[in-house]
Structure 1
Amino acid sequence: MTLKFYEFTGEYYALIKAFSKEEAIAFYKENVCDVDSRVVQVSTPYAWEKFQPHLGELTIVDFLEKKVDILLQDTDL
């Protein structure tokens, strides 16, 4: 199964990797904000472009690891 990337742009921003949109939404509601948010699937190159400036505090392993996780989130959280 392949991980996909989902960008949430509602009340709180998040870039989440998950195996499905439903899984990403559930993870967002549990770990970021329980309010419905606009979510779109984004390409791997787009997700990498957003993620890359944060290398140092995060690693390439965080990006490639085969587990559902938040790659980026709103700094107001």
Structure 2
Amino acid sequence: MTLKFYEFTGEYYALIKAFSKEEAIAYYKENVCDIDSTVTQVSSPYAWEKIKPHIGELTIENFLEKRVELLLLSGSLA
């Protein structure tokens, strides 16, 4: 299975790495907000550029690890 990147742009912004859109939505609702949000699949280069200013010690290998995770969250929730 290939990881994909999903950007949520509703009330609370989030960038989530998941194997499917459904999995990303479930993760968002469980860990960010249970309000429906607009979700768009984005490319890995786009996701990398979005999180690069916020990554600290994150390496490209960690970024591409095959696990579902929250990569970026709007500042109002962090």
Q: Shorter-normalised TM-score: what interval?
A: over 0.9
Count of aligned pairs: 76
Q: Could you list the structure 1 runs, at least 4 aligned residues long, displaced by more than 6 angstroms after superposition.
A: none
Partner-residue secondary structure (3-state), 1:48: helix
In 2: Cα distance, 1:3 partner to 1:46 partner: 14
Pick which of 36-45 and 62-71 moved more: 62-71
TM-score of the superposed pair, with normalisation by structure 2: 0.91
> What amino acid does structure 2 have at the position aligned with 1:38?
T
Partner-residue secondary structure (3-state), 1:34: coil
In 1: Cα distance, 2:35 partner to 2:45 partner: 28
TM-score of the superposed pair, with normalisation by structure 1: 0.93
Unaligned runs of 5+ in 1: none
Q: Tell me by how many angstroms 1:62 deviates.
A: 3.8
- Which residue is 2:58 aligned to? 59
> What amino acid does structure 1 have at the position aligned with 2:58?
T
1:6-56 per-residue CA deviation (whole Å, 9 max, x = no partner) reads 000000000000000000000000000000000000011100110111121
